[in-house]
Amino acid sequence: MEKTKGMFTHRDVQKIIDKRRMDVSKLPTKEEIDQRTYERSMATLTRKKARAIYRHSVFSGNIPIEFAFEDWKPDMQADSHKAREIGRKAFILAKQMMNTSKNVIMFGPKGSGKTSLAVAMLTYIRKYGKSGVFVSTIELAQTLSLQYDAPDVRKRVAGIERAMTEADVLLLDDFGTEGGMKLDIKPVRRDMQELMYRVANARLDFESNSPRLSTIITTNNEMSELEHMYNSKLISRIIPKSKDCTLNFEKLTDVRGKRP
């Protein structure tokens, strides 16, 4: 049989099989090849979507925060045992959130490491393929105030809300700061209330009354203060009641600027 230019004949294929001593009985079927191609394509799309979601993060001062669990230094705290236990609990929760959606809250004094450990959780989860977004709530509130006279800001806000709605893990940092200082707490502006309520609803599984997607919250405020700032229905949707999902930093102190 004459070989067509640029084409393999059956004999050519058989030679390759014989030369490489291939077991043709173990070669994948067309269906298996199609399935693997589909899975690779979906994995690529998932990675692209995760990167797109993270790009909508809202950082204070537009400066990204990077932190991993190995960066956590319990010995910087006077109560190193407590700091070590909180770090361990955060790591366990991050691992659990890979398979089960959870709402997690970290509360306590400023500078005690809440944001750092929350970012470590987000970093871990994103490293293993989940999508995540970081949102400084006070920065978001300030962005909302600029959108009415600026179409480009309105477009950005729409992208942020979509990312907050779709991300596997949403990190709300310094939640409650947008309601004012400790001695002058006020209800949060209406547009922020409405946005947060839409996001909270989208992330809740109403049938099981449990999180459909995970949310991590860091705050300096007490529950009563948060309820004064926001509608109680919103708070009930995003603040966990379980102690297992609550990390208390009250025994830790401000270590910002402190060298290890």
From the first residue on, what is the mean pLDDT of each consecutive set of 10 residues in the chain (260 residues)?
59 76 70 69 74 95 94 92 96 97 94 95 95 97 90 94 97 92 84 96 94 97 91 93 93 72
* DSSP codes of every residue in 44-81: HHHHHHHHHHHTT-B-GGG------GGG--GGGSSSHH
* CATH assignment, 80-179+187-248: 3.40.50.300
Choose among 44, 82, 85, 113: nearest CA to 257.
113
Predicted local confidence at residue 158, as pLDDT: 96
- List helix spans (H) across the chain: 10-20, 30-54, 80-96, 114-127, 137-146, 151-166, 190-202, 223-229, 232-238
Tokens found for residue 4: 């067509």
The per-residue pLDDT for 148 is: 86
Ramachandran class of 85: left when φ > 0, alpha when ψ lies in -120 to 50, beta otherwise = alpha
pLDDT score recorded for residue 17: 72
Q: What is the pLDDT of residue 9?
A: 77
**Residue 254 CB burial class (10 angstroms; 0-12, 13-18, ≥19):** exposed
Q: What is the pLDDT of residue 92?
A: 97
pLDDT at 3: 47
User: Does the CA dihedral 175-76-256-118 come out positive or negative?
Assistant: negative
Distance CA 80, CA 74 (A): 5
User: What does the pLDDT read at residue 2?
Assistant: 47
Dihedral of the alpha carbons of 86, 87, 90, 92, in degrees to the nearest 10: -110
State the residue for tokens 């909302």: 144
CA angle 187, 192, 195 (to 5 degrees): 135
